[in-house]
């Protein structure tokens, strides 16, 4: 088993259908994560990461194929990012990511089913998995996700840790509680900013739990306007995917009498390449 990381970035744009407007910025979120994650993975970095980034207007079969192909390649990690709008099946027991060309009547049938994704990840060749989610759900889907005997059970898969945010979205609604996935204020935007700037005072290698307070700070989590309108997802075991903390390296070098240019070079070259011993 290699030490590499397979990264699959899915930002699905549901198209011009008004009911699927929650996916309008999904492509931006997937692009943000595709830019941010490869260079920050602690034990692989850019050279050890394979990034798959399907088009935003791809259909469900194309998106699922991208995940399955990545899952079949030997690597230490499989990280899948889902950005867009979720829709529930008529019984409220399953959800799917809305894909291009969907209408309100066929969105679930045409969408990328959540359980297809988790099944592909569970049966992959990787030692570890992580599903990063930046999504919104309409009223019916939001209700289904709150039920542990319905679609909500999908959020607790024992072998596919979740990290991200699912917000409630209503057509035509405005305000911070209606932030679109991929837009400013979304989870992918917040995570990208935290990875870019780092977390002062945190270790050089950080996992989701180390980053979560900073990500929540970017989201403005805890403001009254957001109460009950979003669900934050954090891996139950803390998440073992380690990422480089740029603030730790920058802080260590800041007090040395080097030029800005040399500091930049040292910062890049001194980024750790091996995970710390357990």
Give the domain ranges of the chain. Answer: 5-267
The sign of the torsion formed by the CA atoms of 181, 127, 62, 137 equals negative
Residue 3 has pLDDT above 80, yes or no: no
- Tell me how far the alpha carbon of residue 150 is from its chain's centroid: 23
Give yes or no for residue 169 having a pLDDT over 80.
yes
CA triple 44-271-268, angle to 5 deg: 110
What is the pLDDT at residue 266? 44
pLDDT in tens, 109-144: 999 999 999 999 999 989 899 999 999 999 999 999
- Give the pLDDT confidence of 14-60 residue by residue, as tens digits: 999 999 999 999 999 999 999 999 877 766 655 678 999 999 999 99
Residue 167 has pLDDT above 90, yes or no: yes
3-class DSSP state of 66 = helix
Judge whether 77 and 6 are in contact, CB under 8 Å: yes
DSSP tag of 100: T
Query: Do 2 and 74 touch, CB atoms closer than 8 A?
Result: yes
Q: What average pLDDT does this structure show over 241-249?
A: 83
Token digits of residue 264 = 């930049």
What pLDDT, on a 0 to 100 scale, did the predictor assign at position 157?
82
Taking a C-beta distance cutoff of 8 angstroms, is the pair 111, 63 a contact? no
pTM score, whole prediction = 0.85
Q: Under CATH, to which class is 5-267 assigned?
A: alpha beta
């Amino acid at each position: 088993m290699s030490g590499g990381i397979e990264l699959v970035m899915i930002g699905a744009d549901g198209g011009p259908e008004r009911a699927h407007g929650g996916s309008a910025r999904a492509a931006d979120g997937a692009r943000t994560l595709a830019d941010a994650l490869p260079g920050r993975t602690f034990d692989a970095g850019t050279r050890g990461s394979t990034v798959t980034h399907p088009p935003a207007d791809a259909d469900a079969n194309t998106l699922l194929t991208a995940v399955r192909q990545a899952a079949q390649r030997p690597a230490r990690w499989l990280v899948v990012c889902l950005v867009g709008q979720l829709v529930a099946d008529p019984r409220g027991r399953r959800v799917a990511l809305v894909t291009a060309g969907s209408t309100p009547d066929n969105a679930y049938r045409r969408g990328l089913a959540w359980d297809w994704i988790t099944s592909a990840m569970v049966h992959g060749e990787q030692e570890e998995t992580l599903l990063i989610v930046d999504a919104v759900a309409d009223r019916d889907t939001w209700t289904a996700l709150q039920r542990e005997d319905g679609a909500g059970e999908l959020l607790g898969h024992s072998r596919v840790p979740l990290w991200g945010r699912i917000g409630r979205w209503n057509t035509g609604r405005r305000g911070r509680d209606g932030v679109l996935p991929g837009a400013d204020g979304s989870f992918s935007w917040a995570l990208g900013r935290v990875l870019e700037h780092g977390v002062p005072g945190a270790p050089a290698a950080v996992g989701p739990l180390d980053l979560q307070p900073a990500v929540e700070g970017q989201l403005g989590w805890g403001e009254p306007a957001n109460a009950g309108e979003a669900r934050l997802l954090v891996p139950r075991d803390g998440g073992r995917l380690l990422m480089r903390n740029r603030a730790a390296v920058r802080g260590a070098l800041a007090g040395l009498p080097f030029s800005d240019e040399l500091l930049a070079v040292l910062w890049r070259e001194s980024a750790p390449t091996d995970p710390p011993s357990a």
